[in-house]
Amino acid sequence: MRRYLVKVAYLGEGFSGSQAQPPETGLRTVAGEVRSKLLLTDHVPEDRIDLRFASRTDAGVSALGNAIAFYTEFKDPETMLRALNSVSDGVYYLAYREVDDAFNPRIADKRYYRYSCPADRMDLPAFREAAELFEGHHDFKRFAKNETGKSTVMAIDSVNVRLRGNIIETDFCANYFLWNQIRRIMAAVMQVGLGMSSLQDVKEILAGRDGTFGLAKPEGLTLLDVTFPGEGFTFPEECPYSRRIGRDLFRDGLRSGFHRTLMDRYREETG
């Protein structure tokens, strides 16, 4: 058997998070989808797959560049990617890297996330100023879900805000992130942008005053990439999921067309 680290992408709306859930819950997860397709295309025993994720994502959160490690009987990794993409429902397998038995995908170099939200009614300068408060070394106790025994003191390397059309994109980079950290940060930033909270409120709570701004919706969050020390990933010369992309783009076009027609019909009826 060989062990590979595989770069994967998925839309969060189709999954109840990345981590496996007990069968009796009936919840569809990224781990469950990957495992079922490995069993379908591979000959590795289920108890030897040893599927591990680089980053955990909650229900509704998407990924363009998460990474998973597992054992496989495939001799050719490009054949493996094509086989998995041919049967997958919701997960795209992008690239690969062979790793040894001791490799732990949780020990990554950097993680990159993006949160996207509507620009409507947002005060962009105030939004940006609030976001930049979180750059650097802080105690994020009020901006993360409590995990027993885990320190909330850490550093966010960079926070960058840009306006793209009618969408505000906020990019984060750090070695790791705490549970719900970005969604709690973005709830505060958006409240400032909408005039519902002040910069001073955010500064005081970041400094330790008791309080919370809630939790931003998961659909706006995307894990852009996870990088690792050493050699990079190998991307096949021929895209291993090109046929699926064409099908999915057609389906997305039908969905967009439905919503456009719905709005056009309203305008026609109301003059």
H helix intervals, 207-241: none
**Cα–Cα distance measured from residue 254 to residue 137, given in angstroms and rounded to the nearest whole number:** 45
Among 42, 58, 120, 139, the active-site one is 58
Question: Cβ distance 144 to 179 under 8 Å?
Answer: yes
Q: Measuring CA to CA, which residue among 184, 221, 177 is closest to residue 206?
A: 184
Dihedrals phi, psi of 248, to nearest 5 degrees: -70, -35
154 three-state secondary structure: strand
Q: Is 58 a catalytic residue?
A: yes
Quote the CA–CA distance of 95 and 153 in Å, as a whole number: 33
Q: Which residues in 91-109 are b (16+ Cβ under 10 Å) and which e?
A: bbbbbbbebeeebebeebe
Rounded CA separation 171/114 (Å): 4
SS3 226: strand
Task: List, by residue number, the catalytic residues.
Answer: 58
